[in-house]
Amino acid sequence: MTEEKKKGILTVVSGFSGAGKGTLMKALLADYDYDLSVSATTRAPRAREVDGREYFFLTRDAFESMINNGEFIEWAEFVGNYYGTPRAYVEEKLAAGRDVLLEIEVQGAMNIKKQFPDALLVFVTPPSAEELKRRLVNRGTETEEVIAKRLSRACEEAAWIEQYDILLVNDDLEECVRTLDTIIHDAIAGIPYEVSENQAMIAEIRSQLEKYRLGGNEL
Ligand code: 5GP
């Protein structure tokens, strides 16, 4: 009897800008055995970001030619820049049975959900909108104008949370890392997720984020 080779699981992690996804991903990779896809982007590198590690930093022309050549599984514009997931890495890793993580925004996540119906979609949020703002400001990497746009975008992204399988509150980093690893392993084992308390939390975050909404920034 031939045993079918295991294909890896694809996990999409989204969340408001400033929710701590980057830190969460780094900590998860340090402790557990996953492959994180490195995206391409046209935004400028932040201090300490390294080309090929956090992102492949591209010009708009280079990015657009990759779009035209079908080299992205998905891509989207986010607050004035392109972001995209290179196709080859994800397809090769999944075929080799590896569990792959994508850290992408909601339009990209919805696109992945269509192409990979078995993908696990996780939405990460800080415990409150105030905390989100505090983290964005303390990060010190964006101007006030960009922070305002990112908070407004967060308000729009909140409308998509129900499309995700799991809402993960990033309060304590270590606990969040352990929970995320458990969620992924449960999904691999076919164990259903507990979503009971999410509705109240989603409603609360949505109403808190409303005050940051700017006009004309629809998804
Ligand atoms: P940042 O500029 O803060 O690194 O990322 C901005 C947003 O773009 C974040 O929500 C991040 O998850 C998202 N992002 C990063 N890479 C990709 C990608 O390849 N595709 C999509 N659709 N979004 C991405």
pLDDT in tens, 174-189: 999 999 999 999 999 9
Average pLDDT over residues 54-83: 97
Q: Is the pLDDT of residue 91 over 70?
A: yes
Residue 59 maps to a domain? no
Beta bridge partners of 133: none
Number of separate domains in the chain: 1
Residue 80 maps to a domain? no
CA of 47 to the centre of ligand 1 (A): 17
Provide the pLDDT for residue 214: 87
> Structural domain of residue 192, as residue ranges?
10-36+99-213
Provide the pLDDT for residue 5: 58
Provide the pLDDT for residue 194: 66
Structure-block tokens of residue 153: 């975008």
Edge-first strand listing for the sheet containing 166-169: 35-36, 100-103, 10-15, 120-125, 166-169
Provide the pLDDT for residue 173: 93
From CA 116, how far away is CA 99, in angstroms rounded? 14
Residue 143 maps to a domain? yes
* pTM, 2 dp: 0.91
| Residue with more model confidence, 22 or 201 | 22
As a residue count, the chain comes to 219
User: Which residue minimizes the CA distance to atom 24 of ligand 1?
Assistant: 104
- CATH code, domain carrying 158: 3.40.50.300
CA of 176 to the centre of ligand 1 (A): 20
Alpha-carbon torsion, ordered 127, 138, 27, 9, to 10 deg: 60
Q: Ligand 1 in contact with 157 (CB < 6 A)? A: no
Q: Ligand 1 in contact with 78 (CB < 6 A)? A: yes
Residue 62 maps to a domain? no
Provide the pLDDT for residue 200: 82
Longest dimension (CA), the chain: 62
From CA 129, how far away is CA 20, in angstroms rounded? 13
- Quickly state the pLDDT bin for 6 (edges 50, 70, 90): confident
From CA 124, how far away is CA 190, in angstroms rounded? 21
Query: How many CB atoms neighbour CB 17 within 10 A?
Result: 22
